[in-house]
Structure 1
Protein backbone atom coordinates (compact mmCIF):
# COMPACT_ATOMS: atom_id res chain seq x y z
CA UNK A 1 0.00 0.00 0.00
CA UNK A 2 1.35 3.43 -0.93
CA UNK A 3 2.27 5.64 2.01
CA UNK A 4 -0.08 8.56 2.52
CA UNK A 5 1.42 11.91 1.61
CA UNK A 6 2.44 14.06 4.55
CA UNK A 7 1.56 17.71 4.94
CA UNK A 8 4.56 19.89 5.78
CA UNK A 9 3.78 23.53 6.59
CA UNK A 10 6.65 26.00 6.83
CA UNK A 11 5.55 29.03 8.86
CA UNK A 12 7.87 31.78 7.70
CA UNK A 13 8.45 35.50 7.93
CA UNK A 14 11.43 37.38 6.59
CA UNK A 15 11.11 40.06 9.28
CA UNK A 16 11.44 39.27 12.97
CA UNK A 17 8.72 40.37 15.37
CA UNK A 18 5.70 39.46 13.22
CA UNK A 19 4.63 36.74 15.67
CA UNK A 20 5.71 33.81 13.51
CA UNK A 21 6.39 31.44 16.42
CA UNK A 22 3.02 32.24 18.03
CA UNK A 23 1.33 31.49 14.69
CA UNK A 24 3.22 28.20 14.24
CA UNK A 25 2.51 26.99 17.79
CA UNK A 26 -1.20 27.75 17.71
CA UNK A 27 -1.72 26.39 14.19
CA UNK A 28 -0.14 23.16 15.39
CA UNK A 29 -2.63 23.00 18.26
CA UNK A 30 -5.55 23.90 15.99
CA UNK A 31 -4.69 21.02 13.64
CA UNK A 32 -4.20 18.63 16.56
CA UNK A 33 -7.66 19.54 17.85
CA UNK A 34 -8.98 18.45 14.42
CA UNK A 35 -7.60 14.97 15.09
CA UNK A 36 -4.33 15.22 13.20
CA UNK A 37 -1.06 13.77 14.49
CA UNK A 38 1.12 16.88 14.55
CA UNK A 39 4.83 17.38 15.07
CA UNK A 40 5.97 20.97 15.62
CA UNK A 41 9.59 21.44 14.59
CA UNK A 42 11.73 24.36 15.67
CA UNK A 43 13.46 25.26 12.42
CA UNK A 44 15.47 28.12 13.89
CA UNK A 45 18.68 26.11 13.94
CA UNK A 46 20.76 28.80 15.66
CA UNK A 47 18.29 30.23 18.23
CA UNK A 48 15.47 27.70 18.82
CA UNK A 49 12.60 29.17 20.84
CA UNK A 50 9.52 26.94 20.46
CA UNK A 51 10.29 25.14 23.72
CA UNK A 52 10.68 28.49 25.47
CA UNK A 53 7.37 29.76 24.07
CA UNK A 54 5.62 26.66 25.43
CA UNK A 55 7.48 26.67 28.75
CA UNK A 56 8.99 23.28 27.95
CA UNK A 57 12.55 24.48 28.49
CA UNK A 58 11.96 24.30 32.26
CA UNK A 59 11.23 20.59 32.34
CA UNK A 60 13.51 18.80 34.74
CA UNK A 61 15.18 15.40 34.70
CA UNK A 62 12.55 14.04 37.08
CA UNK A 63 9.58 14.96 34.88
CA UNK A 64 9.01 11.40 33.66
CA UNK A 65 5.53 12.14 32.32
CA UNK A 66 7.16 13.71 29.27
CA UNK A 67 9.35 10.72 28.51
CA UNK A 68 8.13 7.88 26.30
CA UNK A 69 9.66 4.96 24.46
CA UNK A 70 12.01 5.26 21.50
CA UNK A 71 10.44 5.92 18.13
CA UNK A 72 13.59 4.79 16.31
CA UNK A 73 17.30 4.52 16.98
CA UNK A 74 17.72 8.20 16.10
CA UNK A 75 14.60 9.87 17.52
CA UNK A 76 14.15 9.71 21.27
CA UNK A 77 11.31 11.11 23.37
CA UNK A 78 13.02 12.91 26.26
CA UNK A 79 13.17 16.04 28.37
CA UNK A 80 15.41 18.93 27.27
CA UNK A 81 17.70 18.20 30.22
CA UNK A 82 18.18 14.61 29.07
CA UNK A 83 18.96 15.77 25.53
CA UNK A 84 21.64 18.10 26.93
CA UNK A 85 23.09 15.33 29.10
CA UNK A 86 23.19 12.92 26.14
CA UNK A 87 25.07 15.48 24.06
CA UNK A 88 27.59 16.09 26.82
CA UNK A 89 28.28 12.41 27.46
CA UNK A 90 28.13 10.97 23.94
CA UNK A 91 29.82 13.78 22.03
CA UNK A 92 27.31 13.72 19.17
CA UNK A 93 24.03 15.39 18.35
CA UNK A 94 20.91 13.87 19.90
CA UNK A 95 17.53 14.39 18.32
CA UNK A 96 14.82 14.93 20.95
CA UNK A 97 11.06 14.65 20.45
CA UNK A 98 9.02 15.98 23.37
CA UNK A 99 5.38 15.59 24.31
CA UNK A 100 3.73 19.01 24.09
CA UNK A 101 0.21 20.31 24.76
CA UNK A 102 -2.91 18.78 23.16
CA UNK A 103 -0.97 15.83 21.77
CA UNK A 104 1.38 17.99 19.70
CA UNK A 105 4.94 16.70 19.78
CA UNK A 106 7.83 19.15 19.64
CA UNK A 107 11.10 18.48 17.85
CA UNK A 108 14.12 20.73 18.35
CA UNK A 109 17.30 19.99 16.41
CA UNK A 110 20.36 20.59 18.60
CA UNK A 111 22.88 22.85 16.91
CA UNK A 112 26.58 22.11 17.25
CA UNK A 113 29.05 24.96 17.35
CA UNK A 114 29.32 27.74 14.83
CA UNK A 115 28.52 26.85 11.23
CA UNK A 116 29.82 28.32 8.03
CA UNK A 117 27.33 29.03 5.25
CA UNK A 118 28.09 25.84 3.26
CA UNK A 119 27.83 23.67 6.37
CA UNK A 120 24.48 25.23 7.26
CA UNK A 121 22.95 24.08 3.99
CA UNK A 122 24.29 20.55 4.42
CA UNK A 123 22.95 20.49 7.99
CA UNK A 124 19.50 21.51 6.79
CA UNK A 125 19.47 18.90 4.01
CA UNK A 126 20.56 16.14 6.40
CA UNK A 127 17.81 17.19 8.81
CA UNK A 128 15.20 17.01 6.02
CA UNK A 129 16.34 13.52 5.09
CA UNK A 130 16.56 12.30 8.70
CA UNK A 131 12.93 13.27 9.30
CA UNK A 132 11.90 10.33 7.08
CA UNK A 133 12.03 8.20 10.25
CA UNK A 134 8.92 10.01 11.52
CA UNK A 135 6.82 9.53 8.39
CA UNK A 136 4.66 6.70 9.74
CA UNK A 137 3.92 8.50 12.99
CA UNK A 138 2.54 11.87 11.88
CA UNK A 139 0.05 13.49 9.55
CA UNK A 140 1.36 17.04 9.61
CA UNK A 141 4.75 18.57 10.29
CA UNK A 142 4.75 22.29 11.10
CA UNK A 143 8.09 24.10 10.94
CA UNK A 144 8.62 27.33 12.83
CA UNK A 145 11.37 28.74 10.61
CA UNK A 146 13.92 31.41 11.43
CA UNK A 147 13.47 35.00 10.27
CA UNK A 148 15.62 36.15 7.37
CA UNK A 149 17.00 34.59 4.21
CA UNK A 150 19.94 32.54 5.48
CA UNK A 151 20.70 29.56 3.18
CA UNK A 152 19.83 26.90 5.77
CA UNK A 153 16.52 28.61 6.55
CA UNK A 154 15.50 28.97 2.90
CA UNK A 155 16.42 25.32 2.32
CA UNK A 156 13.99 24.23 5.05
CA UNK A 157 11.21 26.50 3.78
CA UNK A 158 11.35 25.35 0.17
CA UNK A 159 11.26 21.70 1.30
CA UNK A 160 7.71 22.07 2.70
CA UNK A 161 4.50 21.19 0.87
CA UNK A 162 2.96 24.54 1.89
CA UNK A 163 4.62 27.84 2.72
CA UNK A 164 2.75 30.15 5.10
CA UNK A 165 4.15 33.70 5.12
CA UNK A 166 3.32 35.77 8.21
CA UNK A 167 3.21 39.57 7.92
CA UNK A 168 1.97 42.23 10.30
CA UNK A 169 0.36 45.63 9.86
CA UNK A 170 3.82 47.18 9.52
CA UNK A 171 4.53 47.90 5.85
CA UNK A 172 8.16 46.83 6.24
CA UNK A 173 6.95 43.29 6.94
CA UNK A 174 5.19 43.26 3.57
CA UNK A 175 8.32 44.51 1.78
CA UNK A 176 10.42 41.81 3.48
CA UNK A 177 7.82 39.17 2.56
CA UNK A 178 8.12 40.21 -1.08
CA UNK A 179 11.89 39.58 -0.94
CA UNK A 180 11.37 36.14 0.55
CA UNK A 181 8.64 35.12 -1.88
CA UNK A 182 10.64 36.25 -4.91
CA UNK A 183 13.72 34.37 -3.73
CA UNK A 184 11.78 31.13 -3.17
CA UNK A 185 10.10 31.49 -6.55
CA UNK A 186 13.13 32.44 -8.64
CA UNK A 187 15.67 30.12 -7.02
CA UNK A 188 13.56 27.14 -5.89
CA UNK A 189 10.55 27.40 -8.20
CA UNK A 190 8.05 27.68 -5.32
CA UNK A 191 4.83 29.11 -6.79
CA UNK A 192 2.17 28.89 -4.07
CA UNK A 193 2.22 30.99 -0.90
CA UNK A 194 -0.39 31.27 1.85
CA UNK A 195 -0.56 34.59 3.69
CA UNK A 196 -1.50 35.23 7.33
CA UNK A 197 -1.64 38.81 8.60
CA UNK A 198 -0.95 38.92 12.33
CA UNK A 199 -1.67 41.55 14.99
CA UNK A 200 -4.35 43.40 13.03
CA UNK A 201 -6.69 46.02 14.46
CA UNK A 202 -9.48 44.99 12.07
CA UNK A 203 -10.23 42.40 9.41
CA UNK A 204 -10.05 45.16 6.81
CA UNK A 205 -6.53 45.95 8.01
CA UNK A 206 -5.49 42.38 7.27
CA UNK A 207 -7.08 42.44 3.83
CA UNK A 208 -5.28 45.70 3.02
CA UNK A 209 -1.89 44.20 3.79
CA UNK A 210 -2.68 41.25 1.54
CA UNK A 211 -3.69 43.63 -1.24
CA UNK A 212 -0.37 45.49 -0.87
CA UNK A 213 1.47 42.19 -1.21
CA UNK A 214 -0.49 41.38 -4.35
CA UNK A 215 0.35 44.79 -5.81
CA UNK A 216 4.08 44.36 -5.20
CA UNK A 217 4.05 40.95 -6.89
CA UNK A 218 1.61 41.66 -9.72
CA UNK A 219 4.33 41.37 -12.39
CA UNK A 220 5.36 37.90 -11.21
CA UNK A 221 2.53 36.12 -12.98
CA UNK A 222 3.47 32.61 -11.86
CA UNK A 223 3.34 33.41 -8.14
CA UNK A 224 0.03 32.43 -6.54
CA UNK A 225 -0.93 34.14 -3.28
CA UNK A 226 -3.79 32.82 -1.14
CA UNK A 227 -5.11 34.75 1.85
CA UNK A 228 -5.73 32.51 4.85
CA UNK A 229 -6.93 35.30 7.12
CA UNK A 230 -5.92 37.70 9.87
CA UNK A 231 -5.16 37.25 13.56
CA UNK A 232 -6.58 40.14 15.61
CA UNK A 233 -4.48 42.03 18.13
CA UNK A 234 -5.72 40.34 21.30
CA UNK A 235 -4.37 40.84 24.81
CA UNK A 236 -4.99 37.15 25.45
CA UNK A 237 -2.07 36.38 23.10
CA UNK A 238 0.44 38.44 25.05
CA UNK A 239 -0.91 37.03 28.32
CA UNK A 240 -0.33 33.48 27.05
CA UNK A 241 3.20 34.39 25.91
CA UNK A 242 4.00 35.78 29.36
CA UNK A 243 2.81 32.50 30.87
CA UNK A 244 4.98 30.58 28.35
CA UNK A 245 1.91 28.80 27.09
CA UNK A 246 -0.02 28.43 23.84
CA UNK A 247 -3.00 30.73 23.34
CA UNK A 248 -5.27 27.78 22.50
CA UNK A 249 -4.43 26.26 25.89
CA UNK A 250 -5.17 29.46 27.82
CA UNK A 251 -8.06 31.17 25.97
CA UNK A 252 -9.54 28.82 23.41
CA UNK A 253 -12.61 31.01 22.81
CA UNK A 254 -11.01 34.45 22.44
CA UNK A 255 -11.02 36.31 19.10
CA UNK A 256 -7.45 35.37 18.20
CA UNK A 257 -8.03 31.71 19.10
CA UNK A 258 -11.09 31.57 16.86
CA UNK A 259 -9.02 33.00 14.01
CA UNK A 260 -6.38 30.29 14.52
CA UNK A 261 -9.09 27.63 14.44
CA UNK A 262 -10.47 29.03 11.16
CA UNK A 263 -7.03 29.06 9.55
CA UNK A 264 -6.24 25.56 10.81
CA UNK A 265 -9.50 24.29 9.34
CA UNK A 266 -8.66 25.86 5.97
CA UNK A 267 -5.21 24.31 5.94
CA UNK A 268 -6.56 20.88 6.85
CA UNK A 269 -8.83 20.94 3.78
CA UNK A 270 -6.07 21.68 1.28
CA UNK A 271 -4.93 18.76 -0.91
CA UNK A 272 -1.30 17.86 -0.30
CA UNK A 273 0.68 18.83 -3.43
CA UNK A 274 2.63 16.27 -5.41
CA UNK A 275 6.45 16.24 -4.99
CA UNK A 276 8.16 18.89 -7.08
CA UNK A 277 11.47 17.09 -7.62
CA UNK A 278 13.54 19.30 -5.32
CA UNK A 279 14.86 18.56 -1.82
CA UNK A 280 11.67 17.87 0.17
CA UNK A 281 10.46 16.37 3.43
CA UNK A 282 9.07 12.81 3.31
CA UNK A 283 9.82 12.40 -0.40
CA UNK A 284 8.49 8.99 -1.52
CA UNK A 285 11.28 6.71 -2.70
CA UNK A 286 13.78 9.38 -1.67
CA UNK A 287 16.79 9.83 -3.87
CA UNK A 288 19.67 11.27 -1.89
CA UNK A 289 20.62 14.67 -3.19
CA UNK A 290 24.18 15.50 -4.11
CA UNK A 291 25.06 18.76 -2.39
Structure 2
Protein backbone atom coordinates (compact mmCIF):
# COMPACT_ATOMS: atom_id res chain seq x y z
CA UNK A 1 0.00 0.00 0.00
CA UNK A 2 1.30 3.46 -0.97
CA UNK A 3 1.52 5.61 2.16
CA UNK A 4 3.24 8.59 0.56
CA UNK A 5 2.08 12.03 1.73
CA UNK A 6 -0.56 13.73 -0.40
CA UNK A 7 -0.28 17.35 -1.44
CA UNK A 8 -3.38 19.15 -0.15
CA UNK A 9 -4.02 22.64 -1.52
CA UNK A 10 -6.82 24.92 -0.37
CA UNK A 11 -7.74 27.46 -3.06
CA UNK A 12 -9.43 30.40 -1.40
CA UNK A 13 -10.06 34.14 -1.62
CA UNK A 14 -11.15 37.08 0.46
CA UNK A 15 -14.23 37.76 -1.67
CA UNK A 16 -16.29 36.20 -4.41
CA UNK A 17 -15.97 36.93 -8.10
CA UNK A 18 -12.19 36.65 -8.36
CA UNK A 19 -12.16 33.37 -10.34
CA UNK A 20 -11.38 30.97 -7.52
CA UNK A 21 -13.36 28.05 -8.92
CA UNK A 22 -11.81 28.48 -12.35
CA UNK A 23 -8.39 28.37 -10.72
CA UNK A 24 -9.30 25.19 -8.83
CA UNK A 25 -10.74 23.35 -11.82
CA UNK A 26 -8.08 24.32 -14.33
CA UNK A 27 -5.21 23.71 -11.91
CA UNK A 28 -6.61 20.25 -11.13
CA UNK A 29 -6.81 19.34 -14.81
CA UNK A 30 -3.40 20.82 -15.63
CA UNK A 31 -1.80 18.79 -12.82
CA UNK A 32 -3.58 15.65 -14.03
CA UNK A 33 -2.19 16.27 -17.52
CA UNK A 34 1.26 16.20 -15.90
CA UNK A 35 0.58 12.69 -14.66
CA UNK A 36 -0.63 13.50 -11.16
CA UNK A 37 -3.57 11.62 -9.66
CA UNK A 38 -5.83 14.50 -8.65
CA UNK A 39 -9.03 14.91 -6.66
CA UNK A 40 -11.02 18.15 -6.63
CA UNK A 41 -13.31 18.77 -3.65
CA UNK A 42 -15.99 21.46 -3.88
CA UNK A 43 -15.85 22.70 -0.28
CA UNK A 44 -18.07 25.72 -0.87
CA UNK A 45 -20.87 23.96 0.97
CA UNK A 46 -23.23 26.95 0.64
CA UNK A 47 -22.75 27.87 -3.03
CA UNK A 48 -21.20 24.81 -4.65
CA UNK A 49 -20.50 25.17 -8.38
CA UNK A 50 -17.58 22.95 -9.40
CA UNK A 51 -19.99 20.47 -11.00
CA UNK A 52 -21.55 23.29 -13.04
CA UNK A 53 -18.15 24.63 -14.08
CA UNK A 54 -17.12 21.21 -15.40
CA UNK A 55 -20.48 20.06 -16.74
CA UNK A 56 -20.57 17.11 -14.34
CA UNK A 57 -23.93 15.40 -13.85
CA UNK A 58 -24.13 14.94 -10.08
CA UNK A 59 -25.68 11.74 -8.74
CA UNK A 60 -24.54 12.06 -5.14
CA UNK A 61 -22.45 14.59 -3.25
CA UNK A 62 -20.74 15.43 0.03
CA UNK A 63 -24.14 16.09 1.64
CA UNK A 64 -24.79 12.35 1.36
CA UNK A 65 -21.53 11.64 3.18
CA UNK A 66 -22.40 14.15 5.91
CA UNK A 67 -25.81 12.50 6.35
CA UNK A 68 -24.28 9.02 6.49
CA UNK A 69 -26.05 7.83 3.34
CA UNK A 70 -22.92 7.25 1.26
CA UNK A 71 -19.21 6.71 1.70
CA UNK A 72 -16.80 9.28 0.30
CA UNK A 73 -15.76 6.85 -2.45
CA UNK A 74 -19.40 6.53 -3.53
CA UNK A 75 -19.77 10.24 -4.29
CA UNK A 76 -16.65 10.55 -6.46
CA UNK A 77 -17.39 11.55 -10.07
CA UNK A 78 -14.82 11.29 -12.84
CA UNK A 79 -14.17 14.60 -14.56
CA UNK A 80 -11.92 15.80 -17.38
CA UNK A 81 -8.42 14.28 -17.48
CA UNK A 82 -9.71 11.58 -15.11
CA UNK A 83 -9.71 13.90 -12.09
CA UNK A 84 -11.86 12.71 -9.19
CA UNK A 85 -14.54 15.30 -8.46
CA UNK A 86 -16.25 15.37 -5.07
CA UNK A 87 -19.21 17.73 -5.55
CA UNK A 88 -21.33 19.43 -2.91
CA UNK A 89 -24.89 20.74 -2.76
CA UNK A 90 -25.88 24.39 -2.68
CA UNK A 91 -28.23 25.84 -0.12
CA UNK A 92 -28.41 22.88 2.24
CA UNK A 93 -27.86 22.93 6.01
CA UNK A 94 -24.28 23.65 6.98
CA UNK A 95 -22.43 20.84 8.76
CA UNK A 96 -21.65 20.82 12.45
CA UNK A 97 -17.95 20.82 13.45
CA UNK A 98 -18.22 17.08 14.16
CA UNK A 99 -19.73 16.39 10.74
CA UNK A 100 -17.05 18.49 9.08
CA UNK A 101 -14.32 16.57 10.90
CA UNK A 102 -15.91 13.31 9.79
CA UNK A 103 -15.98 14.50 6.18
CA UNK A 104 -12.30 15.46 6.28
CA UNK A 105 -11.38 12.06 7.72
CA UNK A 106 -13.54 10.33 5.09
CA UNK A 107 -11.15 11.42 2.34
CA UNK A 108 -8.75 8.76 3.58
CA UNK A 109 -11.06 6.31 1.75
CA UNK A 110 -9.60 7.45 -1.58
CA UNK A 111 -6.05 8.21 -0.42
CA UNK A 112 -4.46 5.23 -2.19
CA UNK A 113 -5.40 6.67 -5.58
CA UNK A 114 -4.23 10.25 -5.01
CA UNK A 115 -1.18 12.46 -5.33
CA UNK A 116 -2.95 15.81 -4.96
CA UNK A 117 -6.18 17.03 -3.38
CA UNK A 118 -7.37 20.48 -4.41
CA UNK A 119 -10.02 22.06 -2.22
CA UNK A 120 -12.18 24.76 -3.78
CA UNK A 121 -13.25 26.63 -0.65
CA UNK A 122 -15.79 29.37 -0.13
CA UNK A 123 -14.58 32.91 0.37
CA UNK A 124 -13.83 35.17 3.31
CA UNK A 125 -13.43 34.06 6.92
CA UNK A 126 -16.47 31.81 7.07
CA UNK A 127 -15.83 29.00 9.62
CA UNK A 128 -15.95 26.29 6.94
CA UNK A 129 -13.47 28.20 4.75
CA UNK A 130 -11.15 28.55 7.72
CA UNK A 131 -11.49 24.86 8.63
CA UNK A 132 -10.64 23.78 5.09
CA UNK A 133 -7.64 26.10 4.87
CA UNK A 134 -6.32 24.82 8.19
CA UNK A 135 -6.84 21.20 7.11
CA UNK A 136 -4.68 21.71 4.01
CA UNK A 137 -0.89 21.85 3.83
CA UNK A 138 -0.80 24.74 1.36
CA UNK A 139 -3.09 27.77 1.10
CA UNK A 140 -3.41 29.44 -2.29
CA UNK A 141 -5.05 32.88 -2.14
CA UNK A 142 -6.55 34.16 -5.39
CA UNK A 143 -6.65 37.94 -5.65
CA UNK A 144 -7.39 40.49 -8.35
CA UNK A 145 -6.54 44.16 -8.56
CA UNK A 146 -9.63 45.53 -6.84
CA UNK A 147 -9.62 47.21 -3.41
CA UNK A 148 -12.25 44.82 -2.03
CA UNK A 149 -10.34 41.78 -3.27
CA UNK A 150 -7.04 42.97 -1.77
CA UNK A 151 -8.69 43.94 1.52
CA UNK A 152 -10.55 40.63 1.74
CA UNK A 153 -7.43 38.61 0.96
CA UNK A 154 -5.48 40.47 3.63
CA UNK A 155 -8.27 39.94 6.19
CA UNK A 156 -8.31 36.20 5.42
CA UNK A 157 -4.53 35.87 5.72
CA UNK A 158 -4.55 37.87 8.96
CA UNK A 159 -7.28 35.71 10.49
CA UNK A 160 -5.68 32.41 9.47
CA UNK A 161 -2.35 33.56 10.87
CA UNK A 162 -3.34 35.26 14.13
CA UNK A 163 -6.15 32.90 15.13
CA UNK A 164 -5.01 29.59 13.63
CA UNK A 165 -1.24 29.91 13.25
CA UNK A 166 -1.02 29.51 9.46
CA UNK A 167 2.27 31.07 8.41
CA UNK A 168 2.72 30.28 4.70
CA UNK A 169 0.56 31.48 1.82
CA UNK A 170 0.80 31.40 -1.96
CA UNK A 171 -0.64 34.38 -3.85
CA UNK A 172 -2.03 34.05 -7.36
CA UNK A 173 -2.96 37.23 -9.23
CA UNK A 174 -5.94 36.75 -11.51
CA UNK A 175 -7.41 38.71 -14.42
CA UNK A 176 -4.24 40.72 -14.96
CA UNK A 177 -3.54 42.88 -18.01
CA UNK A 178 0.21 42.23 -17.94
CA UNK A 179 2.79 40.19 -15.99
CA UNK A 180 3.90 43.45 -14.36
CA UNK A 181 0.41 43.98 -12.97
CA UNK A 182 0.60 40.60 -11.23
CA UNK A 183 3.93 41.46 -9.61
CA UNK A 184 2.59 44.88 -8.59
CA UNK A 185 -0.44 43.23 -6.97
CA UNK A 186 1.74 40.77 -5.07
CA UNK A 187 3.94 43.57 -3.80
CA UNK A 188 0.84 45.37 -2.60
CA UNK A 189 -0.15 42.26 -0.62
CA UNK A 190 3.40 41.90 0.67
CA UNK A 191 3.47 45.48 1.90
CA UNK A 192 0.21 44.98 3.79
CA UNK A 193 1.34 41.81 5.54
CA UNK A 194 4.83 43.03 6.38
CA UNK A 195 3.39 45.80 8.51
CA UNK A 196 1.85 43.57 11.14
CA UNK A 197 2.08 39.85 10.31
CA UNK A 198 4.91 37.35 10.56
CA UNK A 199 3.92 35.32 7.51
CA UNK A 200 5.69 34.10 4.38
CA UNK A 201 3.97 35.11 1.14
CA UNK A 202 5.08 33.35 -2.04
CA UNK A 203 4.19 34.66 -5.47
CA UNK A 204 2.79 31.84 -7.57
CA UNK A 205 2.25 33.90 -10.69
CA UNK A 206 -0.39 35.71 -12.71
CA UNK A 207 -3.30 34.65 -14.89
CA UNK A 208 -4.15 37.02 -17.74
CA UNK A 209 -7.54 38.43 -18.56
CA UNK A 210 -8.64 36.23 -21.47
CA UNK A 211 -11.93 36.22 -23.38
CA UNK A 212 -11.40 32.56 -24.20
CA UNK A 213 -11.70 31.79 -20.49
CA UNK A 214 -15.09 33.49 -20.47
CA UNK A 215 -16.13 31.44 -23.49
CA UNK A 216 -15.05 28.20 -21.82
CA UNK A 217 -17.05 29.13 -18.69
CA UNK A 218 -20.20 29.52 -20.78
CA UNK A 219 -19.53 26.11 -22.33
CA UNK A 220 -19.01 24.55 -18.86
CA UNK A 221 -15.52 23.50 -19.86
CA UNK A 222 -12.10 24.16 -18.40
CA UNK A 223 -10.07 26.55 -20.53
CA UNK A 224 -7.08 24.17 -20.48
CA UNK A 225 -9.34 21.64 -22.23
CA UNK A 226 -11.38 23.91 -24.52
CA UNK A 227 -8.62 26.32 -25.59
CA UNK A 228 -5.31 24.66 -24.66
CA UNK A 229 -3.24 27.22 -26.60
CA UNK A 230 -4.95 30.29 -25.16
CA UNK A 231 -3.01 32.75 -23.01
CA UNK A 232 -4.88 31.67 -19.90
CA UNK A 233 -4.41 27.94 -20.54
CA UNK A 234 -0.67 28.41 -21.07
CA UNK A 235 -0.49 30.38 -17.81
CA UNK A 236 -2.36 27.61 -15.97
CA UNK A 237 0.15 25.05 -17.26
CA UNK A 238 3.00 27.24 -15.98
CA UNK A 239 1.31 27.51 -12.58
CA UNK A 240 0.79 23.73 -12.51
CA UNK A 241 4.48 23.17 -13.23
CA UNK A 242 5.36 25.34 -10.24
CA UNK A 243 2.88 23.56 -7.97
CA UNK A 244 4.22 20.21 -9.15
CA UNK A 245 7.60 21.24 -7.77
CA UNK A 246 6.35 22.03 -4.27
CA UNK A 247 7.81 19.75 -1.58
CA UNK A 248 5.44 17.25 -0.06
CA UNK A 249 4.40 17.71 3.58
CA UNK A 250 6.62 15.86 6.00
CA UNK A 251 4.84 16.18 9.36
CA UNK A 252 1.44 17.14 10.79
CA UNK A 253 0.96 20.72 11.95
CA UNK A 254 -1.34 19.93 14.87
CA UNK A 255 -4.61 20.88 13.19
CA UNK A 256 -7.40 18.66 11.96
CA UNK A 257 -5.87 17.73 8.59
CA UNK A 258 -6.67 15.73 5.49
CA UNK A 259 -4.78 12.41 5.35
CA UNK A 260 -3.36 12.99 8.83
CA UNK A 261 -2.36 9.33 9.18
CA UNK A 262 0.12 9.67 6.30
CA UNK A 263 1.97 12.47 8.08
CA UNK A 264 2.69 10.51 11.27
- For the residue of structure 1 that corresponds to 2:195, the secondary structure is coil
Q: Quick check: 1:124–1:156 contact (8 Å CA) kept in 2?
A: no
TM-score normalized by the length of structure 1: 0.83
1:240 aligns with 2:216: yes
Q: Distance in 2 between matches of 1:225 and 1:256?
A: 23
Question: 1:98 & 1:147 partners in 2: Cα distance?
Answer: 24
Counterpart contact for 1:121–1:151, Cα < 8 Å: no
Alignment of 1:88-103 (within 5 A): 92-94=68-70, 95=72, 96-103=75-82
Residue correspondences, number: 257
State the match for 1:75 in structure 2. Answer: none
Question: For 1:201-212, what aligned pairs fall within 5 Å after superposition?
Answer: 201-212=177-188
SS at match of 2:261: coil
User: Is the contact made by 2:47 and 2:89 (CA closer than 8 Å) also made in structure 1?
Assistant: no
Distance 2:92 2:220 in 1: 27
Deviates most, 16-25 or 150-159: 150-159
If you compute each CA radius of gyration, which structure gives the higher value, 1 or 2? 1
**Is contact 1:38–1:104 with CA below 8 Å preserved after alignment?**
yes
Residue matched to 2:85: 106
- What residue number does 1:27 align with? 27
Question: Which residue of structure 1 aligns with residue 48 of structure 2?
Answer: 48
Give the structure 2 partner of residue 179 of structure 1.
155
**1:121: Cα distance to partner?**
2.7
Q: Do the aligned partners of 2:13 and 2:123 also contact (CA within 8 Å) in 1?
A: yes
Once the two structures are overlaid, the 10-residue window that deviates more, 183-192 or 1-10, is 1-10
Matched, 1:122 2:98: yes
How far apart are the structure 2 equivalents of 1:201 and 1:122?
Answer: 44
In structure 2, the CA distance between the partners of 1:10 and 1:285, relative to structure 1 (3 Å rule), is closer
Inter-partner Cα distance in structure 2 for 1:239 and 1:148: 27
From 133, 137, 142, the counterpart of 2:118:
142
Alignment of 1:177-256 (within 5 A): 177-220=153-196, 222-256=198-232
Q: Secondary structure at the match of 2:11?
A: strand
CA contact (8 A) 1:123 1:152 kept: no
Would you say the 8 A contact 2:8–2:119 is kept in 1? yes
Q: Matches of residues 62-73 of structure 1 in structure 2 within 5 Å?
A: none
Partners of 1:192 and 1:262 in 2: CA distance: 21
In structure 2, what is the Cα distance between the partners aligned to 1:164 and 1:251?
24
Structure 1 Cα separation of the partners of residues 28 and 115 of structure 2 = 11
User: TM-score, with normalisation over the residues of structure 2?
Assistant: 0.91
Unpaired runs of 5+ residues, structure 1, are: 60-79
266, 271, 276: which is aligned to 2:253? 276
CA distance in 2: counterparts of 1:111 and 1:54, whole angstroms: 16
How far apart are the structure 2 equivalents of 1:242 and 1:109?
21
